[in-house]
Structure 1
């Protein structure tokens, strides 16, 4: 189950505040121990509550004092190179949160702009918009117009670099000229007729046809296919 994200404000209930401090302190010291082991660094942690005289020193008061003395033995210029000042840390957090807020507001303005444009297209009068809506149109409109112009230029470039299709091969036949199939040779025609005569389906169909002379198809005087010589 995911942990519930808590707001960055002071907890009003003192009992709950102490409980959170104890749990978070245990987690912090555990992560500090892991970091010191994994990265082979010396870390000292001090946690002091204003209303209490004692402070929590990690890993122990003696080790913390030794590590602090080792740090102070370095020249001040060397110490300040990697020293993280709390004020600068908070300023960086404020800048990050401000940038995130600005992006979120910009995203909402973009959605509001699209919604207003759809309403105006459907017939809503611009005089019905309030001041905030007009400000959204004025602030987002130029950017949307630039985006449309950029997209149009990209499409024009794609059309210019588009490879044309292969040219259509023109036929040598004139428009009014009729194409006539080449006649079959007598040998080929005779072979086709023999195939039809020996075809059972064709023979069955032709056996039931009566010609104008009154003779059946299979008679000698009206035989459609002359006997093979």
Structure 2
């Protein structure tokens, strides 16, 4: 990192000449490094105080060729990146002004946010003594914050998935049909009897595989007799 040196004219003659030789040597070295590192054509002409011939780098012949090539470039491109001392200082001042304005805006924004925070908690002392301009800035900041909050809410609602439909029914949801297959169709008792089936076979096939007690079996038999008695088919 370079040192912070105050740029000002050196009034002492011997000191000024020593600094000139030292800085001229450093300038020539930087020009040579720039030419090697960037593969660029560089030349330096420095007119010392009290001398008619300038100090030339790298040599007078090479410097003349580089200057002639520079003059052959159209003026629009030639002056595109050219800057004198006045232009450099003006550009630097404008950049510093932009930084100052940015810092001032950040400070005002922080003060307004702090004032709004205190006001929301019931401390209204900060609003006392504000002029019209300051109140306008506070109102503008409030509008911007409300607009930002509204946009964020809309964005959150737009990204949220829609709620699943809920249908209230009187039956219990047993899942999808493939999970609960229907039992195989069995031939009815009347069809078996009418087709000549044996009663003992029917009783054994319908109830022997089930875990029923004797009383349950008798009730099922009585129910079968009642059904058979009401059947239009004649008894076997």
> Under a length normalisation based on structure 1, what TM-score does the superposition of the two structures give?
0.52
Total equivalences in the alignment: 168
Q: Is the 8 A contact 1:48 1:55 kept in 2?
A: yes
CA distance in 1, matches of 2:28, 2:96: 27
Structure 1 unpaired stretches of 5+? 175-184, 188-229
Mapping of residues 49-128 of structure 1, within 5 Å? 51=49, 53=51, 55-72=54-71, 74=72, 78-83=74-79, 84-86=82-84, 87-122=86-121, 123-126=123-126, 128=128
Please, which moves more after superposition, 31-40 or 14-23? 14-23
Indicate the residue corresponding to 1:164 in structure 2.
Answer: 162
- Specify the structure having the higher radius of gyration (Cα): 2
CA distance in 2, matches of 1:20, 1:117: 58
Q: Is the 8 A contact 1:110 1:140 kept in 2?
A: no
Indicate the residue corresponding to 1:215 in structure 2.
Answer: none
Indicate the residue corresponding to 1:10 in structure 2.
Answer: 7
Cα deviation for residue 165 of structure 1 reads 3.0
Cα deviation for residue 110 of structure 1 reads 1.1
Cα deviation for residue 136 of structure 1 reads 4.8
State the SS of the aligned residue for 2:56. strand
Q: Is the 8 A contact 1:109 1:136 kept in 2?
A: no
Mapping of residues 198-217 of structure 1, within 5 Å? none
Indicate how the Cα distance of structure 1 residues 14 and 104 shifts in structure 2: closer, same or farther if over 3 A, else same.
Answer: farther
Indicate the residue corresponding to 1:142 in structure 2.
Answer: 140
State the SS of the aligned residue for 1:164. coil
State the SS of the aligned residue for 1:101. helix
CA distance in 1, matches of 2:16, 2:106: 36
Indicate how the Cα distance of structure 1 residues 137 and 3 shifts in structure 2: closer, same or farther if over 3 A, else same.
Answer: farther
Please, which moves more after superposition, 10-19 or 143-152? 10-19
Q: Is the 8 A contact 2:115 2:126 kept in 1?
A: no
